[in-house]
Amino acid sequence: MRLLPLLVVLLFPFFFSANAQSPAKWTLETCIDYALKNNLGIQQAQLNKQLGKNNYAQSYLNLLPNISAFVSNDWTNGQQFSLAAFRVVNATTTTFATGANADLTLFSGLQQVHNILRSKQDLLAANFDVEDMRNTTVLNVTTAFLQLMNNRELLNVSENQLLTSKLQKENIEKRVQAGALPEVNLLDIEAQIARDEAAVTNAKNAFELAKLGLRLILQLKPEEQFDVELPVLQKSISERISESAALNVYNTAVLQQPSIKAAMARLRSAEYSNKMVIGAFSPTLSLNASLYDYYTNQQKSFDTVANDFVTTPLSTQFKDQFRKTVGLTLSIPIFSRGQRIINLANSKIQYQQAKVQLESRKNTLLQTIFEADANARAAADAYYSSQKSYEAVKRAFDAQEKRYNTGAASNLDYQTAKNNLATVESELIRNKYTYVFRKKVLEFYEGKPISLSE
């Protein structure tokens, strides 16, 4: 018992932290922020961007001289002429050499300048690729989130239908017990309740699958909690899409979309690549410099004290044999087995490929926007039509319900009106979310941020 207070003190922080770490609700904005930070496609694009930064830095570093140093020590055994013996002898020669070399390209047909410009365009393309991947992620998350909201409302409709049937069953039971209705009506309503329960089960499954789809897009780990906070869209949508919306959106998007900007940057990169290949036909002028010194044990000098030839000391040899060289080299390309000509032909093809890619992306963007505009208009018309249909069917159901409660309508007529209302209401919900999504796509291509708070 004396250990109990100690256990409470030790376990209290654990329980407190467990309660403090309960997951918050995931809104659309939360989902988008999380996806932008954790999406693997975005991370891959960011790595490519870092490679582009490195290549761009290297293009500037190529303007600097190339400097290297060396140290060598060689042993050679064989016959050689000995100055001391004044004859050919079998001996081992030791040679120790040090040196440094430097070379700087002064002119190479402006290849290095064009390489800098090309690397800059490649880096810009990589930056735009990151933005394009982020935009794609935002669209995917929004699509999944709206699908989840749609399935949530369909689930609410099914649950309301089931609740209405259960309340109707209570009314029928009272009337059957009073002898105002035959018992077959009670069996009919029980069958209807069973159908409504099945509909609720299917709607729950669809909702959970949509939630799983959103979870997979976010790439959440299995152990991570995921509780979504779904906003309620306004019941009616009164704003219409203008007739010139598609063309206006395209004119804006073609100047702002990162996929188009990336293709334009790659076209300019291909242009500079072509200039680099042309520069390879130009002579190359380079500046060379070197330092060299060496020592060999076969270097002899006459020692007056010993009255004999002895190996010249290393310090003396290094002082006497140190050499400095500075020179200019002009390299003129004459023939390289047709490699330069083939490279030039390939660079022209690659430029045309980049040009075609740019036009293809523009055409794809134009087609996507006009299709989204047409789909949004169709969804708007379907939504307004289903809204009118729902209002009419709702009035019919209310009238049929009053007649049924007064005994003027049969149970079959009432259930038919109830099922018709559920069908029209579900269609209204689907059309509403289809219209909202299509409209959000158009706003996205206009450069507007996606939000459901309006």
Quick one: pLDDT at residue 3? 45
Q: How far is CA 134 from CA 27, 32, 34, 128, in A?
A: 18, 9, 11, 10
Quick one: pLDDT at residue 249? 87
Amino acid code (one letter) for 156: N
User: CA angle, corner 180, sides to 413 and 161, nearest 5?
Assistant: 40
Quick one: pLDDT at residue 241? 60
Mean pLDDT of the chain: 84
DSSP alpha helix (H) spans, 406-447: 411-445
pLDDT higher for 23 or 112? 112
Question: Burial of 429 by CB count in 10 Å (0-12 exposed, 13-18 middle, 19+ buried)?
Answer: buried
Helix (H) or strand (E) run with residue 305 in it = none
- Sheet arrangement for strand 323-331: 66-82, 87-107, 284-296, 323-331
User: CA angle, corner 317, sides to 84 and 94, nearest 5?
Assistant: 65
pLDDT higher for 64 or 91? 64
User: CA angle, corner 316, sides to 313 and 317, nearest 5?
Assistant: 85
Interval 286-314 mean pLDDT: 80
Highest mean pLDDT out of 13-22, 35-44, 238-247, 442-451: 35-44
Interval 304-327 mean pLDDT: 81
193-240 pLDDT per residue, tens? 898 899 999 999 999 999 999 998 988 887 788 888 877 665 555 555
Is residue 302 classed as helix, strand or coil in its secondary structure?
Answer: strand
Q: What are phi and psi of 299, to 5 degrees?
A: -75, 115
With contact defined as beta carbons under 8 Å apart, do 62 and 115 qualify? yes
User: CA angle, corner 124, sides to 118 and 129, nearest 5?
Assistant: 125
pLDDT higher for 323 or 410? 323
pLDDT higher for 447 or 302? 447
Quick one: pLDDT at residue 6? 44
User: Is residue 128 pLDDT above 50, yes or no?
Assistant: yes
Residue among 278, 216, 232 nearest 35 (CA): 216
pLDDT higher for 447 or 294? 294
Highest mean pLDDT out of 285-294, 311-320, 390-399: 285-294
Quick one: pLDDT at residue 20? 38
Residue among 353, 189, 382 nearest 270 (CA): 353
Amino acid code (one letter) for 346: N
Highest mean pLDDT out of 43-57, 158-172, 432-446: 43-57
pLDDT higher for 300 or 382? 382
User: Is residue 432 pLDDT above 60, yes or no?
Assistant: yes
Amino acid code (one letter) for 298: Q
Q: Which of 89-93, 210-214, 338-342 bottoms out in mean pLDDT, i.e. has the lowest?
A: 89-93
Q: pLDDT tier at 82 (50, 70, 90 boundaries)?
A: low
Could you give the CA distance from residue 221 to residue 23 in angstroms, rounded to a whole number?
Answer: 14
Q: Extract the tokens encoding 73.
A: 């020590």
Interval 162-178 mean pLDDT: 83
Residue among 212, 74, 186, 201 nearest 411 (CA): 186
User: Is residue 73 pLDDT above 50, yes or no?
Assistant: yes
Q: pLDDT tier at 302 (50, 70, 90 boundaries)?
A: low
